Amino acid sequence: MSVPRIGVLALQGDTREHLAALTEAGAEAMPVRRRSELDAVDGLVIPGGESTTMSHLLADLELLEPLRRRLADGLPAYGACAGMILLASEILDAGANGRKALPLHGIDMTVRRNAFGRQVDSFEGDIAFEGLDGPVRAVFIRAPWVERVGAGVQVLARAADHAVAVRQGPVLATAFHPEMTGDRRIHRWFVDMVTGRV
């Protein structure tokens, strides 16, 4: 595969920024809103946004189970912030009153929503990211963190003594938003994951 076709789930959240970052990283990037578009991609980015809203839109548009199946079949995926929450196998503080975030079971991990606090507690800083040269500027906005990882999950970065970037096989997740900086290394790394180079 020379130029992979990578979709960005375009139901809610910062879709445009990920499409631009993927294009800069060498992929053919396209928004994904329908089953036919999901079926056409080699990899998928699940952007930040509101995880409960996104998961219920997935269900309403009949994408939830097809996406779970594609992930189980080995679809490479990358989730940022809300995307990390949805890729988990267990979500803490998932919501109430029947409006809960629904896990996609892409990574064997337990994630806590809004773990770093409310919107006013958002912050950014430089963190070490295993596999990349030099630190990554990480933007945390109502960010989750990982409280438990399964045996096959690699922790790639930590902040405040919690895992904030993880990988399991072809699935990558970060609690922060690399699309909001000019640094494309994480997107390039994901493109390399899709093409089987890393």
Query: Is residue 45 scored above 60 in pLDDT?
Result: yes
Q: Is 17 marked as a binding-site residue?
A: no
pTM of the model: 0.95
169-185 pLDDT, tens digit per residue, is 999 999 999 999 999 99
Q: What are the CA-CA distances from residue 181 to residues 45, 87, 95, 99, 189 (Å)?
A: 17, 23, 30, 32, 15
Phi, psi angle pair for 178, to nearest 5°: -70, -20
Catalogue all structural domains in the chain, each as residue range(s) with its CATH number: 5-195 (3.40.50.880)
Q: Is 55 marked as a binding-site residue?
A: no
Q: Mean of the per-residue pLDDT values for the chain?
A: 93
118-164 pLDDT, tens digit per residue, is 665 678 899 999 999 999 999 998 899 999 999 999 999 999 899 99
Please give the Cα distance from 146 to 163 (Å, whole number). 5
Tokens 């779970």 found at: 68
Q: Is 112 marked as a binding-site residue?
A: no
Query: Is residue 99 scored above 80 in pLDDT?
Result: no
Q: Is 122 marked as a binding-site residue?
A: no
% of the chain beyond a pLDDT of 70: 94
Band of residue 34 on the pLDDT scale cut at 50, 70, 90: very high
Token readout for 139 is 């933007």
Catalytic residue numbers, as ranges = 81, 177, 179
Q: Is 50 marked as a binding-site residue?
A: yes
pLDDT for the residue numbered 194: 97
Residue 96 buriedness (CB in 10 A; 0-12 / 13-18 / 19+): exposed
